[in-house]
Structure 1
Amino acid sequence: MTSNLIGRITKIIDPGDALGEVLFGLIMALTWTVGSRLVFAKEGLDVHDLIVATIGCNVAWGIIDAVLFYLGATFYKSRRLRLFRQIKAARTESAALKLLAKEFPIEEAPFSAKGADGDALYRSLLTLACRADPVKASLPKGDLFAAIAVFALVSATSIPAVIPFLLIDSAHLALRISNLFLILLLFVTGYAWAKFSGGRPFYAGMTMTCLGLLLVAIAIALGG
């Protein structure tokens, strides 16, 4: 069931983007729960306020992230249309090839390509662009579904943070378990990231955990 859910999500949104949103949501939730632990010893802990604040913060940022994702998709498609028009308007083949090389630099790709192969690639793209006709840059339903997925992923990461408070009477114990659960999920996120990218899962999990905790510490120190 879990594999089917992950498969559906990765069909809607890029796995890297999905895991990035999960990481962001976990950091947001941890910022609230760890920050509340620091306040706990001084002023006591209002469990109801913590639950509302954690869920509310992640839902709010889920909405913001979804809107920004949708705007980013719009910008990306408009930029591609602008590039297409620039290629059509280029006075020489050399100028058009330079536009393509600037937009799609193979030097940044994780492989070593020969100069002749790169030139052949850009000439193929140029041929395709010259034969094609411009169309209106519209956003398909897939982009809308992806934005909804972004909102759901960021919002859902608040659920593991609040479940211990709903099941355990001791606020102090629930807070400890909530923090440990979120830290474990940081590791799982890094582990899954390596699975998709071909890295070393355990190393990636530990790196993601340390990085997430560092970002949480920075956010708390800066008043976040």
Structure 2
Amino acid sequence: MAGELIVSVSGIRDETRERVAEFAADLDGRGVPLSLLVAPRLKDKYRLVRDEPTQEWLRSRQAGGDAVVLHGYDQAATKKRRAEFAALPAHEATLRLLAADRVMEETGLRTRLFAAPRWQASSGAVSALPRTGFRLLAGATGVHDLERGTVTRGRVLGIGEGHRAEPWWCRALVLGAGRTARRGGLVRLAISAKQLAQPGPRQALLDAVDLSLHHGARPTVYRWDRRLGQAVA
């Protein structure tokens, strides 16, 4: 049975939009859509709401079949070396999710999909997600349908944002993607926009995509199907 392939990019902002767009074009040529992990606020006082060119690019990609996934709220306000949602109690997670949701709605990018920074979400954050309208959680080891309480297993193979970027890891990522695709599993590849500036990591992601496609993996994105009432990955 053929597996599925999901490719995601994080760290999308004014300074990285061009290189993400180039990567997206490479995937377009392979027939692979992107899951775009978007945070309303990033370090250096970046605010998505003030960045109209990035908003427009994201909306155009979403209209073309890419998925927009909320990726935290204000990562710059998080303690160094700690992921934003990794240790939050439910009440604080709720406040951040609601604030992020307002920004995403204002920019025309509202989504019911969530992936925590570094893929780390506390139990409080997980419990807050469905109460704030979210239907899908992309976690480190699986894709969770928050409506039905089910999960599709599949570990993230990533470069950057909590994952390694050394040459040995890039090689391991390609091999791991190939093994999972050959078994008919869910291949989840992730890269930060910062790492796309590095030829080695960028090529490793493309090699992993090509190998997964070679083994018959079907390209898709993170999504929640209202008709089925379940997450699809």
TM-score by length of 1: 0.25
Q: Which has the higher contact order (CA 8 A, sep 6+)?
A: 1
Which structure carries more helix by proportion? Answer: 1
Structure whose residues are more often strand by fraction: 2
The structure number with the bigger radius of gyration is 1
TM-score normalised according to structure 2 size: 0.25
